[in-house]
Amino acid sequence: DPYSSDPPRHPALRVNSQKPFNAEPPSEILSDNYITPNAFFFKRNHLPVPKVDPDTYRLEIQGLPKGPMSLSLAELKSKFPKHTVTATLQCAGNRRSEINQVKPVKGLNWGIAAISNATWAGARLRDVLIHAGYEPGVKGKHVQFEGLDRDVTGTTYGASIPVGKAVSEEGDVLLAYEMNGEELPADHGFPVRVVVPGTVGARNVKWLGKIALSEEESSSHWQQNDYKGFSPSTDWDTVDFKSAPAIQELPVQSAITQPAEGSVVERSQEEVTIKGYAWSGGGREVVRVDVSLDGGRTWHVAELRSGEKGQEAAASPPPGRAWAWKLWEVTAPLPPAAQELEIVCKAVDSSYNVQPDTVAPIWNLRGVLSNAWHRVRVKVSE
Ligand code: MTE
Ligand code: MO
């Protein structure tokens, strides 16, 4: 069993698949912490977790002017300044279950919690590329990453990002060896993973074995034939994966974490508190979250928080570098006589992108990019 050496996991996680291991935290606890504890951070593995010996680990670097080279873990930690970034990671399949409800799709049936937020530390990818001879004008459009996890045929996980993101001083791309002040957990890429803030989870390659500058995108299945969006009219007979770009930046997103679907609020309390998260890709900051208790007829503006309680001010990011989610909260009066509430949330980002109101027009055969208004139904008890 290639999965026999997978690490232990927290029993509270909601498991979508055991082998490979895929799980999300209970959505009600997602908004309890601004920084998601490592044990509760969602886990998305395509393959068995590789066992990597940190003492013999080498990171291979190819396609740069100084020729092929490699770095040990100790070199990665000592040769380059340690850079810290708080960034939210979201799987392209987050909220796929809502797409499935419209018409079934292929993929893990994620709820709203295939998204988490952590403080990552490591070397900047930019510094490592410059160390290998990168300078403006060097040929190459994409930076490819290869994981050390492999399937039975020896094929490794891989992905790539545009070189501009990789070398930008404002891109904040990390070769991370720490997650929330601890060494990277096995499930999250020990000893080194790429963290590409603002970019879909799939490009944040774990158990990083190789970096290559190239004219082409990664040839991996996950870059070429997966993690792409299509029209609702495209089916498995007509889909041409070459016709769509690989997902990089994700669209604006928000969801309700509390109250939970189907729960009961007491009429006598007269008001209800609603909580959730909001985030957008590409470093676009969430500037507003609107919440409705009546299915979207009337709206309340939620209060946004971009840090642990009491530390919000320190967390205000420079424009275009809002990598971390905002948690939001609103307390609103219960509408008189309502026996059931349809609670809805929608976020607006700094480009004034908004979420679509329904799922059907964004349905796609892989069930990715699911970001319609999130709706939760609760009962009001007399
Ligand atoms: N990297 C490797 N090597 N293997 C993988 O299976 N999964 C990707 C990405 N990096 C993956 C990987 C996907 S699809 C996502 S959403 C994120 O890792 C999940 O990161 P996490 O498990 O730390 O939450
Ligand atoms: Mo993912």
The answer on 279 and 203 residing in a single domain is no
**pLDDT tens digits for range 43-55:** 999 999 999 999 9
For a substitution probing ligand 1, which of 3, 17, 36, 44 has the most ligand atoms within 8 Å of its CB?
44
What percent of the chain clears pLDDT 90, i.e. is strictly above it?
96
CATH code, domain with 99? 3.90.420.10
User: How far lies 327's CA from each of 56, 153, 218, 279, 287, in Å?
Assistant: 41, 42, 34, 9, 12
Residue bearing the CA closest to ligand 1, atom 10: 205
Per the CB < 8 A criterion, the answer to whether 352 and 251 are in contact is no
CATH code, domain with 279? 2.60.40.650
User: How far lies 135's CA from each of 57, 144, 171, 175, 311, in Å?
Assistant: 27, 17, 16, 19, 38
Residue bearing the CA closest to ligand 1, atom 24: 43
- The domain total for the chain is 2
The answer on 64 and 161 residing in a single domain is yes
In a domain, 248, yes or no: no
The answer on 149 and 173 residing in a single domain is yes
**pLDDT tens digits for range 259-283:** 999 999 999 999 999 999 999 999 9
Closest CA relative to residue 350, chosen from 377, 313, 323: 323
**Rg for the chain, CA atoms, rounded:** 21
Over residues 290-303, mean pLDDT:
98
Over residues 120-138, mean pLDDT:
98
Per the CB < 8 A criterion, the answer to whether 207 and 156 are in contact is no
Atom of ligand 1 nearest to the CA of 149: 3
Query: Is any atom of ligand 1 closer than 6 Å to the C-beta of 188?
Result: yes
Assign 120 to helix, strand or coil.
strand
Assign 191 to helix, strand or coil.
coil
Task: Provide the CA 273 distance to its chain's centre, in angstroms.
Answer: 26
Query: Is any atom of ligand 1 closer than 6 Å to the C-beta of 248?
Result: no
The answer on 200 and 257 residing in a single domain is no
- Give the pLDDT band of residue 308 (cuts 50, 70, 90): confident
What percent of the chain clears pLDDT 70, i.e. is strictly above it?
99
Over residues 79-83, mean pLDDT:
98
Per the CB < 8 A criterion, the answer to whether 326 and 279 are in contact is yes
Alpha helices in the chain (DSSP H): 27-30, 73-79, 96-102, 125-131, 163-167, 221-224
The answer on 195 and 272 residing in a single domain is no
In a domain, 1, yes or no: no
Q: What is the pLDDT of residue 317?
A: 85
Query: Is any atom of ligand 1 closer than 6 Å to the C-beta of 203?
Result: no
| DSSP letter assigned to residue 21 | T
Instruction: Identify the domain containing residue 327 by its residue range.
Output: 253-381
Atom of ligand 1 nearest to the CA of 207: 3
**pLDDT tens digits for range 181-191:** 999 999 999 99
Query: Is any atom of ligand 1 closer than 6 Å to the C-beta of 326?
Result: no
Assign 77 to helix, strand or coil.
helix
Query: Is any atom of ligand 1 closer than 6 Å to the C-beta of 142?
Result: no
Q: How far is the CA of 213 from the centre of ligand 2 (A)?
A: 23
Per the CB < 8 A criterion, the answer to whether 176 and 184 are in contact is yes
The answer on 349 and 313 residing in a single domain is yes
- Residue 337 pLDDT more than 70? yes
Query: Is any atom of ligand 1 closer than 6 Å to the C-beta of 52?
Result: no
Whether this model's ipTM surpasses 0.95 comes out as yes
Q: What is the pLDDT of residue 313?
A: 60
In a domain, 33, yes or no: yes
Query: Is any atom of ligand 1 closer than 6 Å to the C-beta of 190?
Result: no
Which helix (H) or strand (E) covers residue 351, if one does? none
